[in-house]
Structure 1
Amino acid sequence: MTQRVELATVMDRLAVDDLITDYAGAVDDGDWEAYRRLFAPDGRADYRSAGGIEGDAGQVAAWLAESMRVFPVRQHLIVNRRVTFGLLERDTGDTARVRADYVNPMRFAADGGSPAPDFVCGGRYAFGLLRTAEGWRLREVTVQEKWRRLPDRPGAGVIN
């Protein structure tokens, strides 16, 4: 590999990392317009393993906007990112796959004077990315929830 190709690969890895971080920020901040912009035109997401839906970015953003109302405090921690670049039309680096683990602590909305309980889940994301004229975009997001801890029941709700 030439130094120029290696530099391009590093720049792509940084851009892919930014996209994954922007994804977490959009969900945590409830910025559903930003969430939609992260996707390629044919982009889809699948949250079924976590009790959600599968659909295009607009459908999933609308579902997230409604379902996340019960969690006014959210904080994705996306770690252990493994990035691999693929081929599209014989050009290395037009696609990428990212496998990453997540821990997602959230807080339920407070109910009157009671303290709000926490809800925590974890699992693995599989991201499929595509290089577009606007930069890297999500083509697919698949959530594989592996566990969850429900409030008032430590250790309950473990999913395999």
Structure 2
Amino acid sequence: MSTDTLIADRIEIADLFTRFALLLDETRWDDADTVFADDVVVHSPRGGELRGIDKVVDFMRQGEVEGQHAQHTTTDLLVDVDGDQSAASANSIVYYYRDGQAPHFTGGLRQYCTAVRTPAGWRLREVRIAPAWTRGD
């Protein structure tokens, strides 16, 4: 694989993590196919194991709390590209807040993901959420 291709892949995967965060923050569930592969598997402490994009979207919709917003910040992204698949992980801090108010709940977690190259670009095929800490109500 050429250096240019590897760099382009890493940039696309970094953008994928950003699209994931914005999908969650902006509750743009109809755009889930820009982040997840159809056969995605998500492992989370709250949802257990969710298989398929429809199940993942249903779970995210059910998690909405009226008047509450979230801001996901992603840091320390590590990407290991191997052809059309990549192992990637990142830290995330999530702030939950209401309009004009300081966050009432904050959590830190690590995301471990498998991304795959699809005809539409890189997508997450597997996501493992590992909470590290929480603070607040």
Fold conserved between structures, TM > 0.5: yes
- Which structure carries more relative contact order (alpha carbon 8 Å, separation 6+)? 2
- Taking the aligned partners of 2:93 and 2:15, their CA distance within structure 1 comes to 18
- Is residue 2:37 matched to residue 1:40? yes
Find the counterpart in structure 2 of residue 96 from structure 1. 86
Find the counterpart in structure 2 of residue 157 from structure 1. none
- Taking the aligned partners of 1:129 and 1:61, their CA distance within structure 2 comes to 18
Find the counterpart in structure 2 of residue 137 from structure 1. 123
Q: Which has the higher strand share?
A: 2
- Is residue 2:22 matched to residue 1:25? yes
Contact 2:107 2:131 survives alignment (8 Å): yes
Q: How does 1:1-160 map to 2 (within 5 A)?
A: 5-48=2-45, 51-55=46-50, 56-70=52-66, 72-86=68-82, 93-107=83-97, 118-151=104-137
Structure 2: where are the runs of 5+ without partners? none
- Taking the aligned partners of 1:108 and 1:119, their CA distance within structure 2 comes to 10
Structure 1: where are the runs of 5+ without partners? 87-92, 152-160
Indicate the structure (1 or 2) with the bigger Cα radius of gyration: 1
Contact 2:117 2:123 survives alignment (8 Å): yes
Compute the RMSD of aligned alpha carbons.
2.1
**Against the structure 1 CA distance between its residues 147 and 40, is the aligned structure 2 distance closer, same or farther, given a 3 Å change threshold?**
same
User: How many residues matched?
Assistant: 136
75-84 vs 63-72, greater mean Cα deviation: 63-72
Q: What whole-Å deviation, never above 9, does each CA across 1:101-125 have from its counterpart, x for those lacking one?
A: 1100112589xxxx78611000100
TM-score by length of 1: 0.77
